[in-house]
Amino acid sequence: MSVKTWWRRLVGRSGTTELDPARPDLVVVASSFDDAEACSAALGKALDWTADQPVVLRHHLRVPAAQVNAVQVIAAQDGYNTASVSDSDPAKLVLQRIQILDALHCSQERSRMAGLAQRHDGDALGWDALQPAAGPGNKN
């Protein structure tokens, strides 16, 4: 394993851009919206998740509308972009990035997002991971 590959796995980023978050065939392959559920348990229940392939990891947050921009700016420093944001107050904000997913990095990111939301008077609702649907002709 090269140093570059090792470093990317260590920080939880694949460094690849071959998975387009706008692909129409992406489906949720793992998720947890329960604070008490460990990421390892959620990933253990995931049936269609391919562990060695990148996922679109999405974190669902609820923050005051006035805090949305600040949360987006901070999350962008870790490679996240905004998948969606509601016009409500508090706003429902979905942040996403592409990475290789494992229980450790999932847990770290979940904790990071919870802290980010709390520092901006919000909370983390949960996370989900998307990959292309399994089936004939679909290749990651």
Domain membership flag for residue 139? no
Domain membership flag for residue 40? yes
Domain membership flag for residue 140? no
Say which residue, 118 or 17, is predicted with more confidence.
Answer: 118
- Give residue for tokens 């700016």: 73
- Would you say residue 12 has pLDDT above 60? no
Q: What are the pLDDT digits (tens) for 29-73?
A: 999 999 999 999 999 999 889 999 999 999 999 999 999 999 999
Domain membership flag for residue 138? no
Segments forming the whole domain that contains residue 93 = 3-132
pLDDT at 135: 55
Exposed e or buried b for every residue in 53-76, given b needs 16+ CB within 10 A? bbbbbbbbbbbeeebbeebbeebe
Domain membership flag for residue 137? no
Nearest to 89 by CA among 124, 64, 60, 125: 64
pTM: 0.83
Q: Where are the beta strands (DSSP E) in 1-140?
A: 26-32, 54-63, 81-85, 91-100, 123-132
Cα separation, 69 vs 43, whole angstroms: 31
Domain membership flag for residue 43? yes
Query: Can you say whether residue 126 is alpha, beta or left, with left for phi > 0 and alpha for psi between -120 and 50 degrees?
Result: left
CATH number at residue 54: 3.30.70.970
Q: What are the pLDDT digits (tens) for 95-136?
A: 999 999 999 999 999 999 999 999 999 999 999 999 998 754
Total number of domains in the chain: 1
Domain membership flag for residue 32? yes
Domain membership flag for residue 7? yes
Mean pLDDT of 11-28: 74
